[in-house]
Structure formats: C-alpha cells, structure tokens
Amino acid sequence: TLHWFWDSKIDNVAIFNKEVSATEAASLYSTGAYEISSSYLEADLFGLQKVQSADVLYNVHSDYTPTKLKRYAHDDWELENIVFDWPPFLEENVGDITITPTGAGAAPLAVGTAVTLTASAALFTSNHEGSFWLIKHPRTADETVAPNKVTSAEVDGFFDAAGEVSGSLKDVKGAWRFRTNGVWTGQLVIERSYDEGTNWHTIGGDVFASQDDQNFNVSGNEELGDAWLRIRAIEPDGTFVWIIAGATPDACVATLTCERFYHYGIVKVTAFTSSTVVTGEVVRAINSEEATKTWSEGAWSDERGYPVTLAFFEGRLFYAG
C-alpha cells in the first residue's frame, strides 16, 4: 500500500465533514475516475447550459435533447433524456395539409400502439425521428348519464343495482361539468382515475346529496390530463347503491360533461419513410383514424433544434431559446 507515502506528509485532511486517514488518502490516490457514457461530443461540452436541484443536474444544448444527470451515490450516476408528460409544440397548423393516423386496430389507438402518420403533402424529414406530433380530433360521446337510459357510446352501465356506476368520461383534460336534475333521493360523488379505470378515488371528498330537495351544477378543471371521470352513488355508511327516484315521476338524471371539444393524441416518431409518411408510437391515446387538419409539430427535434438555456424560478423549471 501507499499509506506510508502519506504518513509524514499530511496532518488532517477532510472531504466534506469526514476526516481522511493516510490509508484512505492512499486509496483515493490509487482509485481510477468514475465514468459513465454520454451522447455529448467532447467538442460540444462547453456549449452545455445547466442548473442543479439537489442531486439532479438539468442540461441543455442546442443540438441535443434535454437531459438530466442524477446522483444516487458517489459511484452511482445516471444520465438520461428528459421525458415530458406533455412535450412543447409549435402553433397549430392553419394550412390544408392533413395527417391521417393509422394503427393495427380500430380507434381509439391506445398508448404504446404502433402508428403510421400519413400527410397529404410533403411534411416530414429524416430529422423528425424522435419528434412528437399532437393530433386533434373532435370529441364525440362527451356525456355520462345515470340512471336513465344511456345516450352516450362511452357509457357502459346504469344505476340499476348496488355498486354500479355511470360509464366513464374518458381522456378528460381541462374543464368539466357535473349537473343533476329531477326530484331524487341519494348521494353522489365524482371519481377520477389516472390509470384507465383500474383505480378510482373521489375528487375533493365532495358529496352531492339530495332528499327530494337538491340539484347541482358544478364545474371543475382537470390539469394533468389523461383522466377518466365517472359518477357513483353512495350511502352515508359507504355502501354503494343506485339512485332512488323521487316521489314525482321525475327521476334523477346526473350528467358529467367534458367541456373541451377535442381529443388530443400524441405520437413519438421512431422512423422516417418519406416526406409524407413516418411511423411511431402512441404516447397519448388517439381517438380517431380520420384525417385531420388540426395538428401541431413538436417544438424540439433535430429538425427544429432544442432549447439553449434554462432556469429555475419559483419552483418551476423554464426552458428557452
């Protein structure tokens, strides 16, 4: 060992709050540098801009996808591309070029589905590989109604037995509204799911109750997107039941409406075929395979470039350039 080399040459050495012995100093002296691989070229390193939050370093460069460098331990680091829940997009198309999404199955095209985007005129380049495209279609079947006869294709049930709920209002982002009418007795809650109906929880803990004397007109806003909403009837003890019609012939009609008029699908391009055809993967469900003029190209790509600076402000990370 080399500890003898350091014994007579150091008094006290500390790294942060830990004092280092001669033996430990010798170990550091003989240990190689810790390295991880990176997609950055050495010539581009001085063009990196970065900001730090705790053990995460966020990086940008005009020629590279934004990344983050994460430290788990002194010998455990990870560099990865940042995945955004909602990537930035350019202004919506105002011309006549349409994009038609097609997948292996019938619409809606679920997350993870392979998809082909076909443009009606030259639109794509090979530099669009890795880019994101926002595909919009008009919504249909925007309401769920209970317990009366369902009128929406997205509704799959009635309030006609204990434990049943309304059908799900899918792909909700932005404003929604809950209304009741009629004369009825019961208690209603609105439930939300972020995993396509696997798990549900009550929004805000609000209970909408009537004893033949109340109706409601309530609005809300879904900021995260990808939410499913539904209506459920409950009793005070938590037992799920159907709504009981009031003394008059008017039964309760509970309606849940999405007030955004479009479905927003997102595709990540994985391969370039021609100026009018690319293939990719659905990262946000696409509701229709119809041609649409309402689309937006991703703001960041090898074709458009990437942000050149970034900063934290009031707990938020901003990208620019």
Q: Are 276 and 123 in contact (CB under 8 A)?
A: yes
Provide the mean pLDDT of the chain.
81
Where is average pLDDT lowest: 68-77, 176-185, 296-305?
176-185
Q: Please, which residues have CB within 8 angstroms of residue 8's CB and are 6 or more apart in sequence? A: none
Q: Which of 159, 152, 179 is nearest to 245 (CA)?
A: 159
* Whether pTM exceeds 0.75: no
Answer whether residue 132 shows pLDDT above 70: yes
Residue 293 burial by Cβ neighbours in a 10 Å radius (0-12, 13-18, 19+): middle
Answer whether residue 65 shows pLDDT above 90: yes
Q: For 209-245, what is each residue's pLDDT tens digit?
A: 877 788 899 888 887 767 888 888 776 555 544 455 4
Residue ranges per structural domain of the chain: 1-32, 42-85+307-320, 99-138+263-297, 143-260
Helices and strands in the chain: count of H runs, count of E runs: 2, 22
pLDDT-derived band of residue 153, with 50, 70 and 90 as boundaries?
Answer: very low
CA 45/CA 59 separation, integer angstroms: 10
**Position with higher pLDDT, 58 vs 184:** 58
CATH architecture for residues 143-260: Sandwich (2.60)
Q: For 268-316, what is each residue's pLDDT tens digit?
A: 999 999 999 999 999 988 988 999 999 999 999 999 999 999 999 998 9
